[in-house]
Amino acid sequence: MTSTLVLLRHAKSAYPPGVPDHERPLSPRGRRDAPVAGELLGTVVPRFDMALVSTATRARQTWELVRVHVAADAVVDVPELYLASPDTMLRRIRDVVVGTLLVVSHNPGTEMLAEQLTANTDSSEYRRMVAKFPTAAFAVLSADEPFGRWGYGDAQLTHFEVGRG
């Protein structure tokens, strides 16, 4: 069974005065970039068995703009994805029994997890990803194992894209 994981960093957020970090919304640029990321993602992985989405406002808004271009059979809001470490993210991913999974989350955890999961570190996609993993960027990783067996260095990075509107 091939498993495909997409790690999507939320789009650019705003910094309104007095708004707690968890509640920060997308900025105008973020509202432009997220649909572009969704369109790019839809050409690579148009359908997901499940999407796990951080409960932070900017992540949820990113998902709402991306979902216009991709489908997900199930969507789960996951509070522990908010500013999660790579280990926390991987533990949550390992609990999922599906073939295609989208995770909408935050840096630095998103970028670090993508780097740590990647086996093909000599690829041009990997070099692009480690050079910069900006907002509205996503990494697509695949392995011939269910997610429950994934560990660091077990997946192939097949795509890295940045949504810019």
Could you read off the pLDDT of 56-92 as tens digits, one per residue?
999 999 999 999 999 999 999 999 999 999 999 999 9
State CA 125 to chain mean position distance. Answer: 16
Question: Which amino acid is present at 27?
Answer: S
Please choose, from the candidates 99, 119, 95, 115, the residue with its C-alpha nearest in 3D space to the C-alpha of residue 107.
115
Confidence of residue 51 (pLDDT cuts 50, 70, 90): very high
For residue 128, pLDDT over 90 is answered with yes
Question: pTM of the full predicted structure?
Answer: 0.98
The CATH classification number of 3-17+30-162 equals: 3.40.50.1240
pLDDT above 70 covers a percentage of the chain that reads 100
